[in-house]
Amino acid sequence: MSATSGAGPQNSTKAPRLFRPPLSARLLSLVGTLILAFVTAMMAVFAVLVLGVQLALGAFIMALAVFMGALTGYVWRDLSGKWSYSIRLEPAAAKLDLPAGRSLIHRPPGQHLTIPYADIKSVETRLEAYGSLGMETMQRAYVLRRKNNDLIFLFEDRALGTGLEKQLFADFAADLAARAGVELRDLGMVEGKGGVLGVWGTNAADWAAPSLPLAQQLRLWRHATFTGSLTFAVIFFAFAVRWLVGG
C-alpha cells in the first residue's frame, strides 16, 4: 500500500531535518545499563564469597549473575543503538549514522552513509509480531530500499498496542519519502520468532515475507494489546500489595 508517491525528489525548498531518539529514552537506557551492570557485579562477588561456604547456594547465585550479565548485554545493545543514532535530511541527500544496535531483533550492521535522494527507490514499513511464553509484542520496522535493491534497516518503533507505545519514526519516514519523491510502502504484518521473552533466540521474518491474512493480524493485535494490559496490571498489583503490606 502506498502512502506517499512522486515523480522525483521534492527537497529543494525544505530545510534540513535531524532525527535522533529522544534524550529521555537515551538516558533511561544509560541508567538501566548502569544499574544492571552494578547488580551483576555485586551478585558475582557475593556468589564467589558464598561458594566457599555453601556450594549449592553459591552456584545458584552465580547462575543468576550470569543471567543478569546477559540481560545487561541486551540493555547495553539498546543503549549503543540509541546513543549515537542519527539521520539528517539534507537538501539533496540523507546522511545516515546507524549503529548496529538500532534493532533488538534484526541484526543490521552499523552503517554510516550519505545517500542521494536520487538513489532511493522506496521507504518501506511493516508491523512485526513476536510471541514468547504465551505473550505477544508488536513493533513497526522501517527500511530504506536503494535503486539497486539494497536494503538499509532504519528504525523500529516498539511496544505497539501498549501504554509504552511511542511511534517516533512515522512522520520522519514520511518526510524522507517525500523529499526523495518515492513511495512510503506499507507491507502489512508478518510474524517472527520471539525466542525467550523476546530477548534471546529471536528471529525476524525475511523482509520479502508476504503479509499475514487480516484475521490473523487482528488476532495478533488483540494478543499484543492484552499482553500490554497484563504487564501493567501485574505492576499495579505489585505496588498495591507493597502499599498494603507497608501500611
Return the higher-pLDDT residue of 233 and 195: 195
Q: Is 15 part of a structural domain of the chain? A: no
Q: Do the beta carbons of residue 142 and residue 132 sit within 8 Å? A: no
In the structure grid, which three cell numbers stand for residue 178, read together? 517525500
pLDDT for the residue 239:
40
- Domain boundary residue among 45, 64, 81? 81
Which amino acid, 209? Answer: A
Q: What is the pLDDT of residues 88-134, one digit of tens each?
A: 999 999 999 999 999 989 999 999 999 999 999 999 999 999 998 88
* Cα torsion angle, 220, 225, 226, 231, sign: positive
Global pTM value: 0.82
DSSP letter string, 160-192: TTSTT----SHHHHHHHHHHHT-EEEEEEEEEE
Q: Are residues 120 and 231 in the same domain?
A: yes
- In the predicted structure, residue 213 carries a pLDDT above the cut 90: yes
Q: Is residue 176 part of a domain?
A: yes
145 assigned to some structural domain: yes
Neighbours of 3 (CB within 10 A): 15
**Residue whose C-alpha cell is 501493567:** 232
Check whether residue 89 and residue 77 sit in a common domain: no
pLDDT of residue 134: 80
In a domain, 19, yes or no: no
Residue 125 in any domain: the answer is yes
Residues 208 and 222 in one domain: yes
Q: What is the pLDDT of residue 87?
A: 97
Handedness of CA 105, 109, 115, 119 (dihedral sign): negative
Residues 73 and 184 in one domain: no
Q: Are residues 75 and 181 in the same domain?
A: no
Are 69 and 148 in a shared domain? Answer: no
Domain boundary among 63, 81, 99: 81
Which run of H or of E encompasses 52? none
In single-letter form, the type of residue at position 41 comes to A
Residue at 181 is within a domain: yes
Same domain, 32 and 134: no
SS3 157: strand
- The pLDDT tens digits for 15-57 are 999 999 999 989 999 999 999 999 999 999 999 999 888 999 9
Rounded Cα distance between 113 and 31, Å, is: 30
Domain tally for the chain? 2
Indicate whether 245 belongs to any domain.
no
In this structure, is residue 94 part of a structural domain?
yes
Helix axes 23-51, 55-83, angle to 10 degrees: 160
Choose the final residue of a domain: 36, 65, 81: 81
Question: Do 195 and 91 belong to one domain?
Answer: yes
Q: Is the same domain home to 196 and 94? A: yes
Give pLDDT, residue 91.
94
- Domain containing 144: what range? 85-239
Alpha-carbon span 162 to 196, nearest angstrom: 20
Check whether residue 46 and residue 98 sit in a common domain: no
Pinpoint the alpha helices (H) of the chain.
Answer: 23-51, 55-83, 170-180, 214-246
> Residue 32 to residues 14, 45, 89, 247: CA-CA distances in angstroms?
38, 20, 31, 29
Do 73 and 161 sit in the same domain of this protein? Answer: no
What pLDDT sits at residue 233? Answer: 52
The answer to whether the Cα torsion of 74, 159, 196, 151 is positive or negative is negative
Is residue 130 domain-shared with residue 158, that is, in the same domain? Answer: yes
